[in-house]
């Protein structure tokens, strides 16, 4: 590395507009309830056409020619690689007499699944996904172990696709059985207690040429028996009259019942059915069929079922239903709704382990099965704790704890003594004591109080000059909680501020917080995000020329809406795999499932609100938009890449002034899950390199020194 103490960004060509690849326009428009809406880039929705492929190649060339001119980018990649090279573990769990856990030695593209007879034994490899492809693009996407620990059903996905192929492996010999299950998507597996088969959900085989683009309807729940072909699997439940219903089957710990979770898209409301597995030809019982709330099965004591639900409790509570007397008048509330938001409950050691969110960080409390409070688990600090799985008879459980500056550490928790001990603690090449995280609260446009986490180096001066990356999501009742990221750590090392706003639409404060950012109220989410940016500027953490915003998927929509509504407010934008065409999102893959959160252009009233903020349709020619790097992947069958393609083409056409609008299109990758480490590092280096250049950052060389 150079001896100079500062790495200056490459000189930017800000004196004349970019020359973008020519993107043709076609005469295409649609009538939405009497309003004609042009869609001149519709042809880019066809990913396999020669024209689209040529467009992708030319756009990638422009983008990487630009990124390759950034000298500091290579040093950023080196630092990312060095930091990423640390040993990390997943949360262990036990089945039969075996423990199972994942481990990544550092730079492995995929984590490896191990098994051991005791915690003190050297674990042996059970499945190494890195051996399944040369470039690490085949990922382990799900696994379930039989009750005796002898067999593992596991799912694989390739190139980031949501499609999974399931297989069965003997945990003693590490050999696969002949069983192969195809056309699985959005499903796990759940073994019968005798280990002779498992339940799973699948779709019909798609028509030729529609595997990635076809709309996914009519999911079905099956039972697969070991040693038989998939064609002989037993159809357990389907609904030919309800194309958009999805099914998840879970066998109760005692093996007596199959719990069938019935969902409709991404709506948090669901139905619960069950089937008695001990009674031959037992009918499916519709226990909860009103679709009036979310019901999450915890466990059972014979015919008595326990759930946590947001029925008449927006922050959720724990209830008991006796299935022999299922009338609502007989239901019992065991743990009442609390000021904090109940996120999950597990039944381990004859205790309810209840995880709550308090202002977007974790609290964990233990209750007896009669609802009596026992104790709160003492966590290492303000952060996020996950895990706490196990069996009702277990005396131990494991959990992971992380924060913005604390790498994920795995703890073993003794349920009887209430003591946590470190099981695995990673060593990362940085000094966490040099950084600090604070939580602030600001008011949005309508005076709603919104929390935000801010992380930076200690001693940072709020003088308006600090490069700042503001991240958000705001949808589908998903909560953004503190978590450790090597990518974000490098941003902090470069002197950046990292801010996470907990916007409405998420689940940080329960269902009311979620509903306040849904459908016709979606604009609240964008107002919250814009309010976060204005607070950061007003409090002199940063200024417009130094402020970048980012988000992925629904967060990509967030960024797209923010820059179309307030292009003057931001210094750069990084929308990733975003939903940009709010009038057509429901026409691809699983997009129809998002109607519960967004609404649909097929509804006249919902069309109006969607059209009002749809990023693609609110780009205005002749506007000076901030420097923007759009990212997507050619195998994204969750958010169709056509969203980003069309948005990039339209934004390039609308852009005035010299700042770049670029799109980076990853190959052999999908929406994000299972992405190889090598691709994650490349993406992060490009993202930060882009911001170094467009935010005109001076990056200290010693901050990136190997």
- The answer to whether residue 553 is catalytic is yes
Between CA 532 and CA 522 the distance in angstroms is 16
Sign of CA dihedral 54, 60, 61, 62: positive
User: Tokens 């696994």 identify what position?
Assistant: 143
The DSSP result for 65-108, as a single string, is HHHTT-THHHHHHHHHHHHH-S-EEPPPEEETTEEEEEEE-SS-
As beta bridge partners, residue 295 has 309
CB neighbours (10 Å) of residue 441? Answer: 11
Token duo for residue 206: 């798609």
The region that residue 159 occupies, defined by phi over 0 for left and psi between -120 and 50 for alpha, beta otherwise, is left
For residue 479, give both structure tokens: 């909560």
Which residue, 612, 615, 639, is CA-closest to 519? 612
Residue position matching structure tokens 């999911």: 219
Longest Cα–Cα distance in the chain: 78
Catalytic residue among 456, 514, 617, 671: 671
Distance from C-alpha of 529 to C-alpha of 564, rounded to nearest angstrom: 13
User: What's the CA angle centered on 546, arms 543 and 552, to 5 degrees?
Assistant: 110
Active site residue 671: yes
Q: Which residues of 643-677 are buried (b: 16+ CB within 10 A; e: fewer)?
A: bbbbbbbbbbebbeeebbbbbbbbebbbbbebbbb
Active-site residue (options: 146, 263, 553, 601): 553
Query: Which residues make beta-bridge pairs with 263?
Result: 246, 270
- Cβ atoms of residues 306 and 300 within 8 Å: yes
Question: What are the residue numbers of the active site?
Answer: 553, 671
């Amino acid at each position: 590395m150079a001896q100079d103490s500062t790495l200056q960004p490459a000189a930017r060509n800000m004196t004349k507009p970019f020359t973008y690849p020519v993107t043709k326009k076609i005469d295409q428009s649609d009538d939405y309830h009497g309003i004609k809406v042009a869609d001149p880039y519709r042809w880019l929705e066809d990913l396999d056409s020669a024209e689209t492929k040529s467009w992708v190649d030319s756009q990638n060339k422009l983008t990487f020619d630009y990124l390759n001119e950034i000298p500091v980018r290579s040093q950023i990649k080196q630092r990312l690689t060095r930091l990423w090279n640390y040993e990390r573990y997943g949360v262990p769990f036990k089945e039969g007499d075996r423990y199972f856990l994942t481990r990544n030695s550092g730079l492995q593209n995929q984590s490896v699944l191990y098994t051991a007879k005791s915690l003190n034994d050297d674990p042996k490899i059970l499945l190494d996904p890195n051996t399944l492809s040369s470039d690490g693009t085949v990922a382990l996407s799900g696994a379930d172990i039989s009750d005796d620990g002898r067999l593992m059903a596991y799912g694989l996905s390739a190139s980031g696709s949501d499609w999974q192929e399931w297989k069965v492996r003997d945990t003693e010999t590490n050999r696969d059985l002949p069983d192969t299950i195809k056309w699985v998507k959005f499903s796990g597996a759940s073994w019968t207690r005798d280990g002779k088969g498992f339940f799973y959900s699948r779709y019909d085989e798609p028509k030729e040429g529609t595997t990635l683009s076809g709309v996914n309807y009519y999911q079905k729940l099956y039972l697969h028996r070991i040693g038989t072909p998939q064609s002989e699997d037993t159809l357990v439940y389907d609904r030919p009259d309800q194309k958009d219903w999805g099914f998840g089957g879970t066998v109760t710990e005692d093996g007596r019942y199959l719990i069938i979770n019935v969902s409709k898209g991404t709506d948090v409301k669901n139905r619960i059915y069950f089937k008695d597995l001990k009674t031959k030809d037992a009918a499916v019982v519709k226990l909860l069929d009103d679709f009036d709330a979310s019901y999450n099965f915890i466990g059972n004591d014979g015919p008595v079922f326990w759930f946590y639900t947001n029925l008449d409790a927006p922050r959720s509570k724990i209830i008991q239903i006796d299935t022999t007397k299922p009338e609502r008048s007989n239901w019992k509330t065991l743990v009442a709704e609390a000021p904090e938001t109940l996120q999950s409950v597990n039944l381990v050691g004859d205790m309810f382990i209840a995880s709550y969110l308090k202002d977007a960080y974790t609290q964990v409390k233990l209750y007896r099965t009669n609802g009596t409070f026992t104790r709160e688990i003492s966590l290492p600090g303000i952060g996020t704790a996950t895990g706490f799985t196990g069996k009702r008879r277990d005396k131990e459980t494991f959990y992971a704890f992380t924060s913005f500056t604390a790498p994920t550490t795995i703890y073993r928790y003794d349920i009887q003594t209430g003591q946590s001990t470190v099981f695995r603690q990673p060593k990362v090449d940085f000094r966490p004591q040099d950084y600090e995280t604070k939580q602030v609260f600001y008011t949005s446009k309508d005076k709603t109080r919104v929390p935000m986490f801010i992380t930076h180096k200690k001693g940072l001066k709020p003088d308006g000059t600090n490069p700042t990356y503001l991240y958000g999501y705001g949808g589908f009742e998903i909560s953004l909680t503190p978590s450790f990221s090597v990518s974000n750590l490098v941003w902090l090392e470069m002197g950046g501020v990292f801010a996470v706003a907990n916007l409405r639409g998420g689940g940080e404060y329960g269902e009311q917080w979620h509903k306040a950012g849904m459908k016709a109220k979606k604009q609240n989410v964008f107002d919250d995000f814009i309010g976060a940016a204005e607070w950061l500027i007003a409090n002199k953490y940063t200024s417009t020329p130094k402020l970048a915003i980012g988000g992925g998927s629904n967060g990509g929509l967030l960024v797209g809406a923010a820059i179309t509504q307030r292009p003057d407010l931001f210094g750069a934008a990084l929308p990733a795999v975003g939903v940009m065409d709010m009038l057509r999102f429901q026409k691809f893959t699983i997009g129809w499932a998002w109607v519960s959160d967004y609404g649909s252009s097929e509804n006249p009233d919902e069309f109006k609100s969607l059209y009002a903020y749809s990023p693609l349709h609110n780009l205005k020619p002749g506007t000076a938009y901030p420097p923007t790097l759009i990212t997507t992947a050619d195998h994204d069958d969750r958010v169709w890449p056509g969203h980003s393609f069309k948005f990039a083409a339209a934004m390039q056409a609308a852009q005035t002034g010299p700042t770049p609008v670029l799109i980076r299109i990853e190959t052999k990758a999908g929406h994000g899950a299972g992405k190889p480490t090598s691709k994650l590092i490349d993406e992060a280096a490009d993202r930060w390199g882009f911001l170094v250049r467009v935010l005109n950052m001076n990056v200290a060389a010693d901050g990136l020194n190997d």
